[in-house]
Structure 1
Amino acid sequence: MKNARVIYNPTSGREQLKKHLPYILDRLEQAGYVASAHQTKKEGCAKDAAFEAGKNGYDLVIAAGGDGTIFEVINGLAELEKRPRLGLIPAGTTNDLARAFHMNELDIEEICDVLTGAHVSPLDVGKAGDQYFVNIAAGGSLTELTYDTPSRLKTMLGQMAYYVKGFEKLFFLKPRQARVEYDGKLFEGEIMLFLIANSNSVGGFEKLSPEARLDDGLFDLLLLKKTNLPDFVRIGSLALTGQHIHEDKVVYIQANRIKLEIEGEMQLNLDGEHGGTIPKEFVNLHHHFEMLVPEQEEK
């Protein structure tokens, strides 16, 4: 018999996951799994639960919640030699990984069709020091929005909460001197922020790293050079359509390995969570996981 573990955040998705849980477990049982669930209670809980499930030989581990839950599950499983398949039930504010696979558009019945199906896609993950990420590593004032925005505000306003907090930060943007090594090449200069993207969905925006793929073994590195506030706003508006990558103030390249140093202290954002501080080296781990996806997304 196959074993499946659902690791769910009860507060995600306006607390709808708890309501759907009996249906989810029943669908998994019907598909031949011995299914069980773990409710997260505090920070780090999903990581520990994923590690235990992987260590105990579970065939499928399902992250049910927002990007923070997925981040913890990835970190709980990434260092295991034998890793279970990943499943996803998106129920967060932005759902970047789900957006990349077009799963954010599915209802719970369709999500369960995916989880009980056999269509898989290889999934790259990034390693930053001793932590792992699946969507984005970033630094700069605006990239702190995901962990600076209160959970209650996100619950009430959804993605609009990030716009509210972002407007507050616009007037405090400052350039930093940076040294960036990538696949044997070098950039040195002042930057406003950096994004190291693994997927094309970043904070709910699907054009910030328009060429990014989750299975190509490469990061999409975006550096915004020193600029003034009007230009920053203009470039930000171009990012809605992906045209920002053609601007002189933007460096946009692909690389497998990136080493980043910043003058002064800068916080690192990994998939919306605190990732420590720069300097850091980032390595793309090609096809590190297999993930259940909708049929049209099978690679």
Structure 2
Amino acid sequence: MFPIRKADSTFKKEARIMQNYLIIYNGTAGKSDNETIAKKAQQVLHQAGKNVDLAATSSEKDAIKQAKASTSRYDCLVTIGGDGSINTACSGFLKAGQSIPLGIIPGGTVNNFARALKIPLSTDKAIQNLIDGSPAKVDLATIGDTPMVSSLTLGRLADISKNVKQDERRKFGTMIYLFKGIKELFTNRSYKLKIDANGTIETLRAQILLITTTNSVGGYVAFNPDATYDDDYLHVFLLKKFTLPKIMTYGAFFLSGNLKNARGVKYIKCQQIRIENLSSRKIKTRIDGDPAMALPITVKVKADFLKILLPK
């Protein structure tokens, strides 16, 4: 069952008074139809009596700047894209020290965050949700000043993602990760990590580490039924071995929503975790699908920081 979202009189008031919207989109995306989508959303919002500005961003830095400025000038920020685009908007919110309601028009390959929050994947329905939806409190994870809206990986999951090219994602969709994953099976790479969470420090080896803030990973929304987008927790999975026989086991537990109960999987539910690298080689992370910083890192939950427009 989809969780009951947090609501209060302030949020109901916000939903009523949202009048001024800013839509940001990547203006350098080549063949992307983001500009067409942005103009369509602007037209629909205008017809609903809203004031709408468009901002075609030239870089990630520009998008962050626009998102930061929006918190003092607009009632709602709208972003077009996948988890990476949402992450960029949240970077602006963090720099501003506050957020405003965020509307999402999914446009990525997987759209994991949108799926987890049941935001319509259809462009037309997502645009209509900008009018009909209401703001809900949603947790945001942070690594210093860097936001994490959906997931953080290191180990083989990060290695697989690193080896997937943008044109391959467009051509093959999520299946490309399976093909790359099979190839990755023929390596024997594990990482020695120091984990500090919930007052306990331990050293262990793992081939995969995954941190999520929702019940979804890779667009599969039944991955962890115990997690919700507003439960104020990080959900951490460490897979000690990643071999062909283990994939079959992990796959069965994954599809049933019980991965945390599989043998060889360590699950940690926490509000803060520090991960240090005890291996001789550098270990980099991927956040919301994009390359990010190397270990050590400290991940924290910023509870209820976001206000996402969700369907009623």
Query: TM (normalized to structure 1)?
Result: 0.89
8 Å CA contact retained: 1:190, 1:226: no
Q: How does 1:40-119 map to 2 (within 5 A)?
A: 40-54=57-71, 56-105=72-121, 107-119=122-134
Displacement, 1:4?
A: 1.0
The CA distance in 1 between the partners of 2:120 and 2:180, in whole Å, is 24
Q: How does 1:110-189 map to 2 (within 5 A)?
A: 110-189=125-204
8 Å CA contact retained: 1:225, 1:249: yes
Letter in 2 for 1:290: K
The CA distance in 1 between the partners of 2:29 and 2:311, in whole Å, is 22
RMSD value, Cα = 2.3
- Residue equivalent to 1:15: 32
1:169-192 C-alpha deviation (Å, 9 max, x unpaired): 222241211121112123321111
Return the match for 2:55 from 38, 54, 63: 38
1:124-163 C-alpha deviation (Å, 9 max, x unpaired): 1001122111111121122243443211111111212222
The CA distance in 1 between the partners of 2:79 and 2:202, in whole Å, is 37
* Higher mean C-alpha displacement, 278-287 vs 69-78: 69-78
Letter in 2 for 1:36: D
Return the match for 1:2 from 2, 7, 19: 19
The CA distance in 2 between the partners of 1:174 and 1:181, in whole Å, is 22
- Could you list the runs of 5+ residues in structure 2 that have no partner in the other structure? 1-17
The CA distance in 2 between the partners of 1:196 and 1:13, in whole Å, is 32
The CA distance in 2 between the partners of 1:21 and 1:130, in whole Å, is 28
Displacement, 1:233?
A: 4.4
- Residue equivalent to 1:219: 234
The CA distance in 2 between the partners of 1:232 and 1:82, in whole Å, is 42
Displacement, 1:104?
A: 4.2
Displacement, 1:213?
A: 1.2
8 Å CA contact retained: 2:222, 2:256: yes
The CA distance in 1 between the partners of 2:103 and 2:168, in whole Å, is 28
Displacement, 1:119?
A: 1.5
Q: How does 1:226-265 map to 2 (within 5 A)?
A: 226=241, 228-264=243-279, 265=282
Displacement, 1:82?
A: 3.4
**Structure 1 residue matching 2:113: 3-state secondary structure:** helix
The CA distance in 2 between the partners of 1:227 and 1:150, in whole Å, is 23
**Structure 2 residue matching 1:200: 3-state secondary structure:** coil
The count of corresponding residues between Structure 1 and Structure 2 is 293
The CA distance in 1 between the partners of 2:188 and 2:29, in whole Å, is 31
1:18-72 C-alpha deviation (Å, 9 max, x unpaired): 3333221012223333212222333433223212323x42211111012211111
The CA distance in 2 between the partners of 1:114 and 1:260, in whole Å, is 38
8 Å CA contact retained: 2:101, 2:306: yes
Letter in 1 for 2:110: T
- Could you list the runs of 5+ residues in structure 1 that have no partner in the other structure? none
Query: TM (normalized to structure 2)?
Result: 0.86
The CA distance in 2 between the partners of 1:86 and 1:194, in whole Å, is 29
Letter in 1 for 2:91: N
